[in-house]
């Protein structure tokens, strides 16, 4: 199973980094790195994340890391696409998932 990060999810990581880096560049680097590697568990267990409640697609799931939702899609049992990463206090914007 391969993990691919979409351009949206990479932008999300950059935004998270920028936000945390206002206080500490070092902590921002560590946090984003840990968030990024949190998805490694999906290589062996792609269904380990919970279903995304806002969507009916069983292949769209999410992992939680600290206060962030990592939304991903399982594709053909050989690829996982990380779709977006955002603060769990926000709602998922379904306009991005047609």
Residue pLDDT, tens place only, 7-63: 999 999 999 999 999 999 999 999 999 999 999 999 999 999 999 888 888 899 999
What confidence score (pLDDT) does residue 49 get? 94
Q: Which residues pair with 60 in a beta bridge?
A: 73
- Distance, in Å, from the CA atom of 95 to the CA atom of 98, rounded to the nearest integer, reads 7
Which helix (H) or strand (E) segment is 70 a member of?
strand 68-75
* 0.85 exceeded by pTM: yes
Check whether 92 has a pLDDT greater than 80: no
Query: Rounded to an integer, what distance in angstroms lies between the CA atom of residue 30 and that of residue 33?
Result: 5
Topology at the third CATH level for domain 2-88: YaeB-like fold (3.30.2310)
d(CA 33, CA 17): 10
Average pLDDT over residues 57-75: 94
């Amino acid at each position: 199973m391969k993990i691919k990060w979409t351009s949206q999810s990479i932008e999300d990581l950059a935004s998270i980094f920028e936000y945390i880096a206002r206080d500490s560049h070092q902590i921002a680097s560590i946090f984003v790195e840990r968030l990024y590697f949190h998805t490694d568990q999906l290589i062996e267990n792609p269904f380990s994340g919970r279903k995304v409640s806002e969507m009916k697609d069983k292949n769209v799931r999410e992992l939680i890391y600290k206060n962030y939702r990592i939304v991903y899609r399982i594709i053909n049992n050989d690829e996982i696409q990380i779709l977006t990463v955002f603060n769990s206090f926000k709602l998922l914007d379904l306009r991005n998932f047609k």
